[in-house]
Amino acid sequence: MKTIEDLDVAGKRVFVRADLNVPLSDGTITDDGRIRAVAPTIAKLVERGAKVVVASHLGRPKGAPDPQFSLAPVAGRLGEILGKPVAFATDTVGESAKATVAALADGEVTLLENLRFNAGETSKDDAERTAFAGQLAALADLYVGDGFGAVHRKHASVFDLPALLPHAVGDLIATEVGVLKRLTEDVARPYVVVLGGAKVSDKVGVIENLLQKADRILIGGGMAYTFLKAQGHEVGISLLQEDQIPTVQGYLAEAQERGVEFVLPTDVLVSTEFPDLKTKAPATFSVVAADAIPADQEGLDIGPKTRELFAAKLADAKTVFWNGPMGVFEHPDYADGTKAVAQALLDSDAFSVVGGGDSAAAVRILGFDETKFGHISTGGGASLEYLEGKQLPGLTALEG
Ligand code: ADP
Ligand code: MG
């Protein structure tokens, strides 16, 4: 793979595919980690006299403009971080984009509107994607792939566009891939994996691969209930992926055969209602044993005994990969499980990698110093698919 240093960028229009998919609350950025992570790449291109055209997706708009998913707030924040104005184009390949890019002087930066406002970005139809990539290609001379959080997507700006322009890998992706290599080759042991979060189906698949590599797998968050159910326990109205139960039972059996330790919650915080994440009004909850969740209750965080158990299972780790919060950490009453895991990583002397948009945001929002962790990844799904051993379209496209 070529790096930015291999490209002659001075005076050229350089398209940077970033991942600026940051969490927003009423138009305010609640965690700017992904913007800060790609800023050094953009700053380097600015320094070298490129005309920088930054593009990203944000959220999941349906292939048409939708103001709640506008990247406009991100342009402002990116400008603050770079210490220079970032011109915002109010469309992606239309008149505004063309005019904004045409007006760029060397060393100036523009951000295009959300790529997913165009159906061609995520289309499954190769021709439709290629057509959109062609429109994007008209805006640039060179391509730098640095949106690590999107490299597992076969999308126009990630997969098709690099084929149309001379391209290089950005510094963020290069760093992320270097870290993931440390989790797959010559791993320092014990290697402990912690999985949680809400996207159960996205995460179950990685376990198959991790069973060959990890010494211990701790399961919390929404995933835990599918595991508890697979062991024959009732989980009330907790997050559950019924169709994954046979797969999960297979994993539990294989883990036993291989001597990989699976650690599930022994107690959980339950409530009859999901907390109000806007007002953060105090929640009503109780602590129950993980095998005694009442039928009308939902598990929303790991319990105090599990916090201790997980901390103990992390204490001697030399390598840790953590993806997915242990509970609904956005509400203070359900943040303790996630805090306990973050603290346990800091207390161990493991090389610790935190992956996942919400997990990374949780670490920062809950007040931990991100520089104390081995690496905070900007990609959740992308890291998981890498660890699954899959080919990532956005990396394949940057090869050669
Ligand atoms: P990441 O972005 O780190 O990969 P996910 O997107 O999979 O993580 O999951 C993050 C979300 O999971 C958070 O919004 C959190 O509120 C939610 N979550 C965690 N535990 C539970 C649970 N027990 N029930 C429902 N949602 C949960
Ligand atoms: Mg998430």
291-339 pLDDT, tens digit per residue, is 999 999 999 999 999 999 999 999 999 999 999 999 999 999 999 999 9
Ramachandran angles phi, psi of 168, nearest 5°: -150, 160
Q: Does the beta carbon of 358 lie inside 6 Å of ligand 1?
A: yes
Region of 324 (left: φ > 0; alpha: ψ -120 to 50; beta: rest) is: left
With contact defined as beta carbons under 8 Å apart, do 4 and 175 qualify? no
The residue whose CA is least distant from atom 5 of ligand 1 is 197
With contact defined as beta carbons under 8 Å apart, do 65 and 117 qualify? yes
Q: Does the beta carbon of 337 lie inside 6 Å of ligand 1?
A: no
Element (H, E) at 178: helix 171-182
Q: Residue 83's pLDDT is what?
A: 98
Q: How long, in residues, is the chain?
A: 400
Q: Does the beta carbon of 323 lie inside 6 Å of ligand 1?
A: yes
Comparing CA positions, the residue from 169, 191, 139, 135 lying closest to residue 15 is 139
Distance (angstroms) between ligand 2 centre and the Cα of 358 equals 5
Mutation choice for ligand 1 from 206, 238, 328, 353, CB with most ligand atoms inside 8 A: 328
The amino acid present at 350, given as its one-letter code, is A
Distance (angstroms) between ligand 2 centre and the Cα of 359 equals 7
- pTM higher than the cut 0.85: yes
Task: Say how far apart CA 216 and CA 263 lie, in whole Å.
Answer: 7
Low-confidence ranges of the chain (pLDDT < 70): none
Atom of ligand 1 nearest to the CA of 328: 16
Greatest alpha-carbon pair distance for the chain in Å reads 66
The number of helix segments (H) and strand segments (E) in the chain equals 14, 17
* 77 assigned to active site: no
For 307-312, the CB contacts below 8 A with 24+ separation are 307/336, 307/337, 307/340, 308/340, 309/263, 309/266, 310/194, 310/218, 310/220, 310/263, 310/337, 310/340, 310/341, 310/344, 311/340, 311/341, 311/343, 311/344, 311/347
CA-CA distances (angstroms) from residue 113 to 27, 65, 68, 73? Answer: 15, 9, 12, 11
* 34 assigned to active site: yes
Tokens of 223: 């995933």
Question: Where do we find the tokens 């046979």?
Answer: 246
4-39 pLDDT, tens digit per residue, is 999 999 999 999 999 999 999 888 999 999 999 999
Distance (angstroms) between ligand 2 centre and the Cα of 378 equals 11
Q: What is the DSSP string of 223-263?
A: HHHHHHHHTT---TTS---GGGHHHHHHHHHHHHHHTPEEE
Task: Say how far apart CA 276 and CA 365 lie, in whole Å.
Answer: 17
Q: Which residues pair with 321 in a beta bridge?
A: 193, 353
Distance (angstroms) between ligand 1 centre and the Cα of 325 equals 6
Q: Does the beta carbon of 303 lie inside 6 Å of ligand 1?
A: no
Task: Say how far apart CA 382 and CA 388 lie, in whole Å.
Answer: 10
Atom of ligand 1 nearest to the CA of 301: 23
> Looking at 12, 17, 34, 116, which residue is catalytic?
34
Atom of ligand 1 nearest to the CA of 225: 23
Q: Does the beta carbon of 327 lie inside 6 Å of ligand 1?
A: yes
> Looking at 147, 303, 379, 381, which residue is catalytic?
381
Q: Residue 186's pLDDT is what?
A: 87
Q: Does the beta carbon of 356 lie inside 6 Å of ligand 1?
A: yes
Distance (angstroms) between ligand 2 centre and the Cα of 372 equals 22
Element (H, E) at 28: strand 28-29
